[in-house]
Amino acid sequence: MSEQLGQPGVTSTSILGNPVLRREDDALVRGQGRYVANVPLEAALHAHFVRSTVAHGTIESIEVDDARAMPGVVAVYTVADLGLDDRPVLMGFYPAEMKRPFLARDRVRFVGEPIAVVVAESPYLAADAAEMVWADIEPLPPVLGQSVALDGENLLFPDIGHNVAFRNSVEDPIDFSGYEVVVSEDVVNPRVAAVSIEPRVVAAGIEDGRLTCWASSQGAHNFRKSVTDLLGIEDEDLRVFVQDIGGGFGAKGITSEEEVMVVHLARKLGRAVRWTETRTENLTGHVHGRAQEQKVTIAGTRDGDIQAYRLDVLQDCGAYPRFGAFLPEFTRQMASGVYDIERVEVEYISVVTTTTPVCAYRGAGRPEATAAIERAVDLFAAEVGMDPAEVRRRNLPGPEAFPFTNGTGTVYDSGEYEMVLDAVLEASNYADLRAEQQRRRAAGDIRQLGIGICTYVEITGFGGSEYGEVSLQADGTVLAVTGSTPIGTGHHTTWAMIVADRLGVPLEAVTVFHGDTDRVPSGQLTGGSRSVQIAGSSMGDAADKLIALARDAVADMLEAAPDDLVLDRERGAFHVAGTPSASRSWAEIAGETAEPLVGHSDFVQAGATFPFGAHIAVVEVDTETGHTTVERIVAVDDAGIIINPLLAAGQIHGGLAQGIAQALLEEIRYDEDGNPQTSNLADYTAISMMEVPTYERSFTETPTPRNPLGAKGIGEAGSIGSTAAVQSAVVDALTPFGIRHLDMPLTPERIWSALQTSNA
């Protein structure tokens, strides 16, 4: 156990920083999870959405009479009789004309866009009736790829005369002609899907004349606000529950049109309505991630000093500009990564295409920045003939430089970048790996070894507040109420640890409650790896306020001054300093106070935090087949002070798997007519345990000054470092064949094709 720091008048050791098993898992492994699909709703109707099979076209007519006449069908709606105005654009600086109808109005803009909704007595009847809806759609040319969208020959929104949703320009571009070494490359960050285990699912009904909704969402209050704003009702007219959800990854951070419509249908029909999407609907109709075309230009000296860097981004934001159009701004903020580069500039353009809309996906713009700068640094190292690890080391700011302002003006809170680089090089036996690589190259081995390095920094927290409430119950136990929404990340365990540590009570004495907008006054979206640093700090602050209230109450009981009282956390009791026998335990306090003692907090973090780390990937590439095997992933990550290393490791493990997946396997693809080619899990190759090695990972701890826990976010770090490391490792293995760059995903086909046309 580690000593508790920073609380005068408090004695104990601390549970924080120790591995504690997740409290949530017992119910989940017993099949007792509280998922939306399991919510009992008497006589609930079922919705089924009819979706466009055309990527781009004009709607001539939609015939629904046959569907309406089928047994068990309660209603069939098109946009004309749904009774909802079009959804405004997400951000005010997007063109207002790019608003999205809830059901396609006049024109369809991607395969999978809803054009009608059937409501029936069972999901099977609804699906059968949906097959009877017939749409006459006159095809228009698809708009596929950012360059095609940018030329504006075919427009998704003709009234505005272009396909640009958002852009950023540089007034004084870098003149690269005066630098000793200049390297450029086009880089693709492919379109991917979140593939949550649980797809979108929502249920809504009416209880006591009031709308009630059960959602699979990353924020109960955000979900409620989206629905009430779009339906034109007051917040108090809708109660939202969010309990267990089967993964979010950012894709469940914004309430979808289908979810809003289900609540609207329940209100319209006066009956409960539920909807669960199929996997094909999820892969074609739900949001995607990444989807950037990048051009990197990096310049410096033959000695390995990086002096200038430019990143040009073309962002595909799909048919309607959701959060995806804004992703390049996060890419811009983090463009220079961990490096101290004098001149950095970023230009970006986000365009609409006839594809599924793009939104946030694990990292949301920051992995794209890391992928670009790490590829650029590897290309630069190869050009100047230096080891990529040494080029990185040469260009890192030292710990004395923090708070450090990067080349785009983003201020990093704290960091020791060389420390994590040294740690990962040592843990991987880097010198031995390079020696083995040279041996294989000299021998002409069929299975070539590749070593990829990524040093990364990312932005988490983004400031803001979170609600926390800690109250002493009549039986002496503690109830902790949080505005945060757990998305599989162990909030109930972590918040209980923080509260138990502060109060000096057993972990099992703390119950954590979340996900009911009637019971929890406010809450923010769980995303951007904000939870421990903001919601966790709020839990700690609320517990401290409960301690202050209890100290005043005990002072009256013991006829002592509050300042003379000490909370002995080992005993879970307050006593007069120097007189341990004159004390009150939490249970005794609960029994002697007339009113419940409740500590409230809306902790506000002033600014984001910047976790960092270094990953090394070791791969073998079969040069006859193009097949890649990831032999090792060595990860050293720094997310400030770690509350529970077991849960932190779980976050890293999942991120590493998703990073490997993006680098080697996953890509949403469309044919030339805009038809999705990856509409199920047979075609979209989501990663499994067969493709990942045993992880080798460790943590360093560089506290942040921006919250009292000293914690930074860790939810996205694994996916940020591993993606670039694996890509670099594969390219490194192919270097003897004259291949200096390959885009993700590095499939066997792509590698084999490159080898057939290589210069070696």
Domain of 585, CATH number, reads 3.30.365.10
Mean pLDDT of 462-469: 92
Number of helices (H) and strands (E) in the chain: give both, helices first. 19, 31
Q: Phi then psi for 72, rounded to 5 degrees?
A: 85, -5
Share of the chain above pLDDT 70, in %: 98
Whole-prediction pTM: 0.95
Give the residue-averaged pLDDT of 106-115.
98
Range of the domain at 565: 2-33+461-605
pLDDT digits (tens, 9 = 90+) for 586-622: 999 999 998 999 999 999 998 999 999 999 999 999 9
Q: What value does the mean pLDDT take over residues 439-452?
A: 98
pLDDT for the residue 668: 98
Confidence at residue 3, expressed as pLDDT on a 0 to 100 scale: 31
- ∠734-735-741 over CA atoms, to 5°? 80
Q: CA-CA distance, 113 to 51, in Å (whole number)?
A: 5
What value does the mean pLDDT take over residues 691-716?
95
Quickly state the pLDDT bin for 717 (edges 50, 70, 90). Answer: very high
One-letter-per-residue 3-state SS of 45-60: EEEEEEECCCCCEEEE
The residue among 572, 605, 638 that closes a domain is: 605
Q: Is residue 178 part of a domain?
A: no
* pLDDT reported for residue 760: 60
Q: Which amino acid is at 383?
A: E
What pLDDT, on the 0 to 100 scale, is given for residue 9?
Answer: 42
Q: Is residue 148 part of a domain?
A: no
Same domain membership, residue 293 and residue 216: no
Round to whole Å and give the CA distance between 514 and 498: 16
Secondary structure of 155-174 as H, E, C letters? CCCHHHCCCEEEEECCCCCC
Q: Which of 250, 276, 302 delimits the end of a domain? A: 276
Residues 316 and 448 in one domain: yes
* One-letter-per-residue 3-state SS of 688-717: CHHHCCCEEEEEECCCCCCCCCCECCCCCH
Among 657, 659, 654, residue whose Cα is nearest residue 714: 654
Examine residue 689 and state whether it is found in any structural domain, yes or no.
yes
125 and 247 share one domain: yes
**256-274 pLDDT per residue, tens:** 999 999 999 999 999 999 9
| Measured CA distances, 528 to 330, 463, 533, 615, 716 (Å) | 11, 10, 11, 21, 8
Contact between residue 631 and residue 701 where contact means Cβ atoms under 8 Å apart = no
Give domain status of residue 664, yes or no: yes
**pLDDT of 543 strictly over 50:** yes
435 Cβ contact partners less than 8 Å away, ≥ 6 residues apart: none
Given 605, 634, 660, which residue is the final one in a domain?
Answer: 605
Same-domain status, 641 and 710: yes
Mean of the pLDDT values across residues 178-183? 98
Look-up of token digits 């466009």: 52
**Rg for the chain (alpha carbons), in Å?**
28
Got the DSSP string for 24-51?
A: THHHHHTT----GGG---TT-EEEEEEE
Rounded CA gap, 405 and 413, in Å? Answer: 9
pLDDT for 94:
97
Number of structural domains found in the chain: 3
pLDDT of residue 8: 39
Q: What is the pLDDT of residue 462?
A: 86
Does pLDDT of 566 surpass 70? yes
Chain segment 325-371, per-residue pLDDT in tens: 999 999 999 999 999 999 999 999 999 999 999 999 999 999 999 99
The answer as to whether 184 is a domain residue is no
pLDDT in tens, 182-212: 999 999 999 999 999 999 999 999 999 899 9
Work out the pLDDT band at 2, boundaries 50, 70, 90: very low
**228-237 average pLDDT score:** 97
Are 230 and 215 members of one domain?
A: yes
Confidence of residue 14 (pLDDT cuts 50, 70, 90): confident
Within this chain, do residues 433 and 325 fall inside the same structural domain, yes or no? yes
Same domain, 599 and 620: no
User: 722: part of which helix (H) or strand (E)?
Assistant: helix 717-734
pLDDT tens digits, one per residue of 118-170: 999 999 999 999 999 999 999 999 999 999 999 999 999 999 999 999 999 99
pLDDT band at 464 (very low <50, low <70, confident <90, very high): confident
Which residue type occupies 311?
L
Residues 643 and 738 in one domain: yes
Residue 658, in any domain of the structure: yes
DSSP-based three-state secondary structure for 469: strand
- pLDDT category of residue 405 using cuts at 50, 70 and 90: very high
For the chain, what's the residue count?
760
Single out the residue of 108, 90, 674, 653 nearest to residue 327, CA to CA.
Answer: 90
Look at residue 5 in the predicted model and tell me its pLDDT: 32
User: What would the mean pLDDT of 443-462 be, rounded to a whole number?
Assistant: 97
Same domain, 249 and 130: yes
- Give dist(CA 31, CA 515) in Å, integer: 20
Question: How far apart are the C-alpha atoms of 42 and 33, rounded to whole Å?
Answer: 20
Contact residues for 81 (Cβ-Cβ < 8 A; gap 6+)? none
Tracing tokens 């992703």 back to the chain, one arrives at 327
Q: With bands split at pLDDT 50, 70 and 90, how would you rate the model's confidence at 10?
A: very low
Of 212, 330, 320, 205, nearest to 274 by C-alpha is 205
The answer to whether position 169 is within a domain reads no
Between CA 739 and CA 329 the distance in angstroms is 31
In a domain, 599, yes or no: yes
pLDDT at 321 over 70: yes
Provide CB contacts within 8 A for 718, sequence distance 6+.
635, 637, 651, 652, 653, 654, 655, 656, 657, 658, 659
Q: Are residues 544 and 658 in the same domain?
A: no
Do 565 and 448 share a structural domain? no
Residues 304, 320, single domain; the answer is: yes
Residues pairing with 469 in the sheet = 481, 600
Assign residue 104 the CATH number of its domain. 3.90.1170.50
Mean pLDDT, range 386-401, rounded to an integer: 98
| Per-residue pLDDT band at 433 (split at 50, 70, 90) | very high
